[in-house]
Amino acid sequence: MIATLLSLLLRAVVVLAGTAVLTFALLWNAPGDPAQAIAMARFDALLTEDVIDQVREEVGLNANFWGAFVDWVGPLLVLDFGNSAVTGRPVWPDLWVSITYTFPLALAGLAIGLVISLPLAILATQHPGRLLDRFAVAIASLGTAIPAFWLGLLLILLFAVQLDWLPAMGARTPAHAILPALTLGLGVAASLTRIIRSGILEARGQQFLPALSRRGVSPKAIGRDHVAPHAAVPVVTVVGLELAFLLEGLVVVEVIFGRPGLGTFLTSAILDRDFPHVQAVVVLTALVFVSVNLIVDVIYRQIDPRIGERDA
Amino acid sequence: MTLRVSGLSAMRSGRTILHPTSLTIEPRARIGLVGTSGSGKSTLGHALIDDLRAQGHSVAHVPQSPDEALDPLRSMAFHWREAEWALGLQPGSADQKTLFTALKIAGGDLRKRPWGWSRGMQQRFVIAMALIGSPDLIVLDEPTSALDPVVAAATMDLLDRHLEGRATAMMLITHDLGLAARRVSTLMVMQEGRIVEQAPTAEILERPKTRASKSLTAHRNWMALPC
């Protein structure tokens, strides 16, 4: 088990190192003059070449690629994301504020998705092919097809504009999080319902189940002890990925609902060419992806150790 | 206790795959259910088990392959506890040691999942589970087809020895007449969902009456098989 964990950790480190190099290279080679964009963001006026050169020197854009990379990645190893190229303030405090808005919203979205999809999929699979099952599949397909930005606008129109039940924009009170969390959660519920449903149906088709019934094992025990673990393997994988992809969906949702968070942090950083901010978000997202994958790997190796055997 | 069922039948996709069938099975009986593939042997076996269980009899089932009996995600110990629980026994009350010794799997690590054991050991474990609580009937559906001939013969010997002196009846479902000839005293020959002939094993082997049994006994090389 320890050897497996070490190998998974090593894999995670390789992925993170690759992400760091790629992110840095992409931004380094981005079209346009980043020094000019940063100077524009800082001074908000037409600028002279001298000022732009000064900014270039100050934020290290004069250095060669590897020199600049090492200057950036070295402090990163101790979670020092550097200073903003625009404001000059340390990145971490601002990033942390964004995280405190975004991560709870992502978790709330995932929780809503699970609360809807799990009972719906279990109910649907009671009688596969019947009305309820078809209804669940249709709703799930529809939910997957609706983009988050459109669903978000529909929810604002209904609950904020027409009914005036919930606030539409901002993040002042917990009520402000309901519509964004619903937007995310409904999307998650749609894709999870399909995965959980097919996971359960596939698990119910396992060839050893009839023998268990003939052995006298109760249907309840078969469902709990045999169908659920088999259905859990694909579900655990997808729940993990959903959590990671939620961060991506949040960019859109935060912009629609005018909420502070990683999404708005990232979009303004891109517009200002604030490299340290962009790099921090990308590294953080990669860290979340890799950590979630690591946890998923460990969990489904616990459920089905054959996965580990095959990898070995 | 004599086991009786009547009017067993089964349909699939609107087609009758088991015509109404009645059976009487005496304690200690050794019955072979033979026939070509698709003749309805396993269907009759399943219908028989379901009917007898509904009557309150204790019936054990050993499927063709251990893959059809064991969950690859659950340990052998879990399967054992579950089998005891299903029979209403307290965990640990079945005479596991005697059964495992008789079936020569006492060295198996019960913490492992099925795939941590050899296929031969898995199948003998399934047979051991089937023998928990001394059932009224044990139905073995092609129990040795997943095993190599030597392990198959040894497993059947071990089972025979274990059942000696017990009231448990045995039904052996097989298309392998060589296996049936050595292990059972009565043969039932199935064809197209019906039992078309039933007689002592020696009689069917020497003087088959129906086309199905004549066809089964036509190939005399079954005597050379190790089972």
A41 & A151 share domain: no
Domains of chain B: 3-224 (3.40.50.300)
A143 & A189 share domain: yes
Within 97-116 of B, beta carbons closer than 8 Å to A belong to 113, 115
Q: How many domains does chain A have?
A: 2
Task: Look up residue B161 and give its amino acid.
Answer: R
DSSP per residue over A191-214, as a string?
HHHHHHHHHHHHHHT-TTHHHHHH
**ipTM confidence:** 0.81
- For residue A311, is pLDDT > 60? no
A18 falls within a domain? yes
Judged by a CB distance cut-off of 8 A, whether residue B59 touches chain A is yes
Q: Which residues of B188-223 are buried (b: 16+ CB within 10 A; e: fewer)?
A: bbbbebbbbbebebeebbeebeeebbeebbeeeebe
Torsion of CA B204, B206, B209, B212, to 10 degrees: 60
State whether B82 and A221 contact (CB < 8 Å).
yes
Q: Are B70 and B130 in contact (CB under 8 A)?
A: no
Domain boundary among A25, A43, A76: A76
Cα–Cα dist B165/B134, whole Å: 11
Cα–Cα dist A279/A151, whole Å: 30
Residue of A nearest to B129 (CA): A215
A154 falls within a domain? yes
Residue of B nearest to A303 (CA): B73
Domain that holds residue A128: 97-271
Within 279-308 of A, beta carbons closer than 8 Å to B belong to 303-306
- For residue B221, is pLDDT > 70? no
| Mean pLDDT over the full length of chain A | 83
A151 & A205 share domain: yes
Distance (Å) from the alpha carbon of A226 to chain B's nearest alpha carbon? 7
Which residue of B58, B71, B129 is the best one to mutate when testing the A interface, meaning the one whose CB has the most A CBs within 10 A?
Answer: B71
Residue range B30-73, pLDDT digits in tens: 999 998 888 889 899 999 999 998 898 989 899 888 999 999 99
Q: Residue B71: which of B108, B114, B109, B105 has the closest Cα?
A: B114
Domain CATH for A206 = 1.10.3720.10
Distance (Å) from the alpha carbon of A299 to chain B's nearest alpha carbon? 13
State whether B53 and A214 contact (CB < 8 Å).
yes
Judged by a CB distance cut-off of 8 A, whether residue B138 touches chain A is no
Residue range A63-76, pLDDT digits in tens: 777 887 887 788 87
State whether A216 and B69 contact (CB < 8 Å).
no
Q: What is the pLDDT of residue A22?
A: 87
State whether A211 and B69 contact (CB < 8 Å).
yes
A217 & A133 share domain: yes
Task: Look up residue A260 and give its amino acid.
Answer: P
Contacts of B219 (CB under 8 A, 6+ apart): B177
- pTM for this entry: 0.75
- For residue B227, is pLDDT > 60? no
Domain boundary among A45, A76, A107: A76
pLDDT mean over A152-174:
84
A152 & A213 share domain: yes
